[in-house]
Every structure is written in structure tokens, then in C-alpha cells.
Amino acid sequence: MNIWLLLLVVAMVLLVIFQIAKASEYVSVLKGEKKAREQSNRVNAFLMLAFMVLGLIGAYWCNEKLAPQTLFAQGSASAEGEAIDTMMLITIAVTGIVFVITQVLLFWFSFKYQEKEGRKAFYFPHNTKLEMIWTIVPAITLTILVVFGLRHWFLITGDAPKESMLVEITGQQFGWTYRYPGTDGVLGKKNYKLIDATNNNSLGQDWADKANHDDVSPSVMYLVKGKPVKLVIGSKDVIHDVGLPHFRLKMDAVPGIPTTLWFTPTITTEEMRTKTGNPDFEYEIVCDQLCGASHYAMRGVIKVVSQEEFDVEMAKLKPLYFAANPDKDPSNQAAPVATADSSKPATAAIVTTVAKPKI
């Protein structure tokens, strides 16, 4: 109902403007060219002033109406993202103030200095002081904002804390693959020439490298609340982009050129579900680089959990090495067979088993 009422008001305003314009046209015919021009300028000046007021009210209304629906209202889910949010607020405040001041002056000057009888325009070709002000002040302001941005960029792309967990994320049309190092804490070597999806080696891992023997790959990315994570990012085909909107981060995934990014999650998935009131909430990984026909569907899921929950999930995973080499998987080895001593009666058979080695 409110939308229809708003549309009706807008339609009425447009109709009034149209009628005023037609009336001005008739007046110009009666008064002559000069009088008509002055009359037209006066009408346009009032209309521009009205447009400024309505425009500012509309911008404020849209912000009040739509801002709560954005991710910004939820707050950042990473420590580094909180600093980026602060930088964003500062940037919006500075540019917003400049926008309001310049727009108000623009429309007010159009109204105040409209053509009038006896008024002559004053022209000056050059003003060094004025030009220095409007060049140097914006340059200094923008430089400060850029320095803030570079500071955060160098932080998240620099060396991760020593206690960081390591996760590799690889993009391909159209999905993400995650790889975690095993107990050795080292990701095994890869070679694109070894990629063979039919033999369970979609990443091209070199099985001759023992560091690959305990690497695991869950279907979703698991992160630990409060523990820094370093992402090693790559791509198997075209350029993708790991977008982490809830954490306020993103990084390109480039074929053949690994990129890195680190951050510290601060809110678990369950806590965010409570905070947002959405029981189905999930942290998303989106592709922020147009990468093909199904780019829109390239979505991944991140689950931020406690350390205990993380350990349980990792314990459920079987190393990729065993999937590609099932003959090496201990769980696939034949179970020991019980044997009976035939020299004794069947009712008193002596059963022997092969002793299991202690682990």
C-alpha cells in the first residue's frame, strides 16, 4: 500500500511539473523572448532547488530503509575485517560530507544567481589560490585514504602469524576444492601434469612426496574461531576470485600463480545464526571474477567452529592419498583369518590369530 501511494505522489509531482512547463511556454509567447527566458530560468531555478531537497531526502530514506539489509549491518566476522569496516566508515563519512556540501552549493548557486534584470555575470579566467585549494586539499585527503587501504592490504597479504592454520583453496569452473595438511602441517607438492580426475587426483598431487600422504579434502571449509588461517589460493583453468564478503576480504585465484591471504575468524557459524536470526545461515565463498556461463553458481561454504569441533571433523576425513591409492589404505587390507589346529578334536580346537602391532 505504501509503495502504491508513493508512486501516486511521484506521478502527481511529474504532472504538476509538466503543467508548469506548458504554462511557461504560453507565457513566453505573450511576454516576448527576454521575459520568457527570465520566466523560464526562474521556474528552472525553483525546480532545481526542489530536486535537491527531494534528492537528499530520498538518499536518506533509501539508506534508512536498505542499510539494515546489507552485510555491513551484520558486522565483520573477522578481526581484520573490523578494521576494514572502520576504514569504510571513514571513507563514507569524508566523501559523504563533501558530496552533500558540493551538491547543496551547486543547486543553491543555480537558484541564487539566476538571470535577473540588471544583473551581469562576472568572468575571471584564473585564480591561483582557489585552484591550489581545490587541488591540494583533495589530493592530501585521497592520499591519506589510500595509505589506510594499503596498510590493510599489506597486512592481510603479508606474513601470517606462526600459529596460523593452513588451507589451500583451488578454483575451477565452477566450484572450489579445499585441501588441508595432515599431522605434518605441510601441504604436499603438486604438478598440473599429474592432474587425473579419473584416478582421484583432481589437484595433481605428487604421490612421491610423502607430505601428500596425509593431506585431506573436506567438502566445505572448516575454520576455527579465534585462530588465524592462511589461505593458499590457486586456479586450475581461468582466473577466479575468492570472495569472502562476511569477512570483508577477497583475492584473485590465478592459474599457475599462487596467491595468499590470511585472517582471523571471530564469530562461529552458530553464533552468526543466532545473531542474524537465520537458522540456515552459512558463510559463503563467492567468485568475484566473471569466469564463465555458470559463474553465478560458483559458491562455497565456510563453517567456523570451535577447536574441538574442528578436530572431530578432521578425524572423519580419509587422506587423499588413500583415495588415489586404495591398495595402500590400511582399512582395505584383508582382515586376519582365524585357524584351527587339526591335530586336536574339533570340539577342542585351538584358535590362533596373528598379533596386531601396537600403534
What cell numbers appear for 331 in the block? 582399512
pLDDT at residue 228 greater than cutoff 80: yes
For residue 15, the model assigns a pLDDT of: 81
Which ranges of 32-120 would DSSP assign to H, the alpha helix? Answer: 33-66, 79-112
For residue range 280-290, list pLDDT tens digits in order.
999 999 999 99
The DSSP letter of residue 160 is: P
What cell numbers appear for 212 in the block? 601428500
What CATH class has 165-328?
mainly beta
Question: Could you tell me what percent of the chain has a pLDDT over 70?
Answer: 87
For residue range 206-216, list pLDDT tens digits in order.
999 999 999 99
Q: What is the pTM of this model?
A: 0.75
Question: Do the Cβ atoms of 242 and 347 come closer than 8 Å?
Answer: no
For residue range 46-81, list pLDDT tens digits in order.
888 888 898 889 888 988 888 888 888 888 999 999
Which one-letter amino acid corresponds to residue 83? A
Which one-letter amino acid corresponds to residue 300? G
For residue 354, the model assigns a pLDDT of: 39
Domain boundaries along the sequence of the chain: 165-328
**Neighbouring residues of 202: CB distance < 8 A, sequence distance ≥ 6:** 177, 195, 196
3-class SS of residue 301: strand
CA dihedral angle for residue 244, residue 250, residue 251, residue 255, rounded to 10 degrees: 50
Q: Residue 138 and residue 133: Cα distance in Å, rounded?
A: 8
pLDDT at residue 156 greater than cutoff 70: yes
Q: Residue 285 and residue 233: Cα distance in Å, rounded?
A: 13
N-terminal to C-terminal alpha carbon distance within the chain: 72
For residue 27, the model assigns a pLDDT of: 63
Dihedral pair phi/psi, residue 105, rounded to 5°: -65, -40
